[in-house]
Amino acid sequence: MKEITVAHSPDSDDAFMFYALVNNKIDTGDLKFVNILSDIETLNRKAFEGVYDVTAISFHAYAYVSDKYMLMPCGASMGIGYGPILVAKKKFSPSDLKDLTIGVPGTLTSAFLILKIFEPNVKYKVIQFDKIIDAVLNDEIDAGLLIHEGQLTYSNSGLVKLIDFGEWWYDQTGLPLPLGGNAIKKELGIQLMKKVSRYLYESVKYALENRYEALKYALQFARGMDDNLADKFVGMYVNELTLDYGEDGRKAVQLFLDLGFERGLIPNKVKVEFVEY
């Protein structure tokens, strides 16, 4: 029995995707999957060291580890006309952004890269993603860049939306905004990479076909969201592009990283590689 380590963030959408794989709902033959939960910025950093066989990863971070990992063709989180949201206590003009200090959830997140593509000269402070709303309310920062459930709950705190970067990206490109995917270590060899990718596909498919069951499991990871809101959140980020990126999804990831390189935000030009099974 070969063990494969699978790391993802403790979020309801990731939990929904991996539900079948880590709860033995699908037959994985001679492979045993060991589940590790950690926040996305930590996983991004661990990928630099090649710690896990399979890891959730920000597309921004993938740019730095494409020598070690390939992207799996399923399991992507993409915002189709929505994405990370910039919020503040009051409205600002986008042209004021460079004068503000913005709380960001990590410099390797895709949210940070899209912010810098939008305004390269922004001043920022790294704050744990679930502490950003409080930091805005307490005036530690002028505005906050929200990922995960904060995108749906910020208005409960009286904050206002300045920019939805998924909306802005879609207006600019007509493509979904690539946020996170799943990467697999190249050293496993192509046959094993294909087999594991196929099992992840089966896991996502199982969750979509057994939505209530998978959602019930995922709800334990829904920080501060009621069942309806968690259902909405999972629906936003486990969509038709999650089973397979498709042409638009693949194009979007390459464009995102190309723009990062052209703006001097990523040091090397990256050729995005997908496991094809």
| Catalytic residue IDs | 148
Q: How far is it, in rounded angstroms, from Cα 201 to Cα 242?
A: 9
189-205 burial code (b ≥16 CB/10 A, e <16): eeebbbbbbbbbbbbbe
58 is in an annotated binding site: no
Q: How far is it, in rounded angstroms, from Cα 208 to Cα 204?
A: 6
111 is in an annotated binding site: yes
Binding residue positions for substrate: 110-111
